[in-house]
Amino acid sequence: MKKQLSTIVRLVVSVGILAYLFNSIFQNELKEVARFILQTPQATAAELAEQLEISAEKVALIRAKVQLVPDPKDPKHVEVNLVTLAAQERRALVWSVGPQSLWRVFHKVSPWWMAAAIGCVGIVCLCGILRWQWILRVQGIELSFPRATSIFFIGMFFNAFMLGSTGGDVIKAWYAARETHHKKAEAVATVVVDRLIGLMALFVITLIMMALFYHRVFDDVRLRGFAVVTVGVVLATVAGTLAMFWRGLADKLPRVRALLQKLPHYATLKRMIDAYRTYASHPALLLKTMLISFGAHLAVMVSIYCVGRGLGIVTANGLIDYLLYLPIINSVTAIPISISGFGVRELMYAEMFGAVGVTGSAAVALSLLGFIVMLFWSMVGSLFYLTHRHEVAAAEHEAATAE
């Protein structure tokens, strides 16, 4: 019941944030359209309607009821006043003109840049498969590259389409556990370690970029809150990770060991924690997996940069803006606040890229198209899901035969 309630709450949060965000963006788009119409009095309603791809009736309504008023802070600048519209008229215009503007942004994307973005995410998938194979071998679990690839992509598929916070990781762990009859707990632990190493690499990149450009994220009032939340998430995750490596920690805290022993499947949980701690004695592996994780995260950021170029988004600092903002965005959206990060991610794109002159509609399009690029590889995972078959391990087969 609690799990279903948590999912419903996160779904409501996602929808609420998206509704607020899109309403704000669409209202700004309407203001820009209205500004253009009111500052082009020589054109007829029909001409403007054809140029802006809206009806002549909407052009006439805007000319009749919308006003340009001087900005009190800057008399040379004029603001669009929508207050003279009735609430129903304003709402209808916002949610008809706004989406059309966003759709025009989507139409501008170059298929070649999108193909490049998809290719970059393909590199991310390859890095993820290799990293997981290395992690599995520490536990003495050997998965062939095709088998590991199949399970990896099945996890991606469920990660994109399951509403739960763990989604694909649970499915990936379940499939991994089925590959062995005597190391199921260890197989599940590899999925946890794999995710943690990926997060740690992301957090290291985030801290480095925030340190190099601290004045840009902490001096800007709009970005300061995101920066503080990011640091908090990073520190909490690092502290939790280190605590898990600390043997005997439960015995140092009163009654903790007794409480843990009352948990269902305590023996399996203890084996998972012991398997997790095994990696502390393999520093070379941790270094190797961190390095390949850095490459994976860099490829993700380059893929979003390619999407931005495909949309014609050009910022003053180019790729540097993506390398600064995207780790912060990805760190915050790692918190299971909403479904698949929807709403939170788009809000952060709009706020952060808005700081370097990207319009709200373009920033949201950048976020959504970046998600679609990931979705492409998730759909590849659906093919693996349909064709994947459980191959009984030799030892398990022997045990079944003996019975």
Instruction: Classify residue 403: in a domain, yes or no.
Output: no
Instruction: Classify residue 280: in a domain, yes or no.
Output: yes
| Mean pLDDT for the stretch of residues 185-190 | 78
Q: pLDDT higher for 318 or 12?
A: 318
Instruction: Classify residue 212: in a domain, yes or no.
Output: yes
Q: pLDDT higher for 116 or 343?
A: 116
pTM: 0.78
User: What pLDDT does 105 receive?
Assistant: 79
Instruction: Classify residue 80: in a domain, yes or no.
Output: yes
Q: Which domain holds residue 43?
A: 2-107
Per-position DSSP letters for 289-356, written without gaps between them: HHHHHHHHHHHHHHHHHHHHHHTT---TTTHHHHHHHHHHHHHHHTSTTSGGGTTHHHHHHHHHHHTT
Are 118 and 86 found together in one domain?
Answer: no
Lowest mean pLDDT among 31-35, 160-164, 225-229, 344-348: 160-164
Are 93 and 201 found together in one domain?
Answer: no
Instruction: Classify residue 54: in a domain, yes or no.
Output: yes
Are 18 and 143 found together in one domain?
Answer: no
| Max avg pLDDT among 13-22, 152-161, 222-231 | 152-161
User: What pLDDT does 61 receive?
Assistant: 86
| Mean pLDDT for the stretch of residues 34-58 | 84
User: What pLDDT does 394 receive?
Assistant: 38
Domain boundary among 91, 107, 123: 107
Are 86 and 223 found together in one domain?
Answer: no
Q: pLDDT higher for 235 or 162?
A: 235
| Mean pLDDT for the stretch of residues 15-21 | 76
C-alpha–C-alpha distance, residues 261 and 224, integer Å:
43
C-alpha–C-alpha distance, residues 321 and 306, integer Å:
13
What tokens appear for 199 in the block?
A: 């997060």
Are 164 and 186 found together in one domain?
Answer: yes
Instruction: Classify residue 327: in a domain, yes or no.
Output: yes
User: What pLDDT does 322 receive?
Assistant: 94
Are 6 and 67 found together in one domain?
Answer: yes
Q: pLDDT higher for 391 or 100?
A: 100
Instruction: Classify residue 400: in a domain, yes or no.
Output: no
**pLDDT mean across residues, the chain:** 79
Q: Which long-range contacts (CB under 8 A, 24 or more apart) does 322-327 make?
A: 323/209, 324/209, 324/210, 324/213, 324/216, 324/217, 325/352, 325/353, 326/300, 326/301, 327/202, 327/205, 327/206, 327/209, 327/297, 327/301
- Cα radius of gyration rounded to whole Å, the chain: 26
pLDDT digits (tens, 9 = 90+) for 163-178: 544 557 777 877 877 7
Given a cut of 60, whether residue 268 has pLDDT beyond it is no
Domain count within the chain: 2
Instruction: Classify residue 231: in a domain, yes or no.
Output: yes
**H or E segment to which residue 79 belongs:** strand 74-81
pLDDT digits (tens, 9 = 90+) for 200-255: 888 889 888 888 888 887 887 767 777 787 788 778 877 776 666 555 555 555 56
| Mean pLDDT for the stretch of residues 80-108 | 82
Per-residue pLDDT band at 292 (split at 50, 70, 90): very high
Three-state secondary-structure class, residue 74: strand
Are 221 and 159 found together in one domain?
Answer: yes
Q: pLDDT higher for 310 or 249?
A: 310
Are 61 and 118 found together in one domain?
Answer: no
Domain boundary among 77, 107, 137: 107
Are 193 and 240 found together in one domain?
Answer: yes
User: What pLDDT does 38 receive?
Assistant: 84
Domain boundary among 107, 137, 168: 107
Are 154 and 266 found together in one domain?
Answer: yes
C-alpha–C-alpha distance, residues 109 and 12, integer Å:
31
Pairing of strands 74-81, 67-71: antiparallel
| Mean pLDDT for the stretch of residues 385-401 | 50
Given a cut of 60, whether residue 340 has pLDDT beyond it is yes
Are 229 and 325 found together in one domain?
Answer: yes
User: What pLDDT does 249 receive?
Assistant: 52
Are 59 and 166 found together in one domain?
Answer: no
Q: Does residue 114 contact residue 306 with C-beta atoms inside 8 Å? A: yes
| Mean pLDDT for the stretch of residues 328-335 | 82
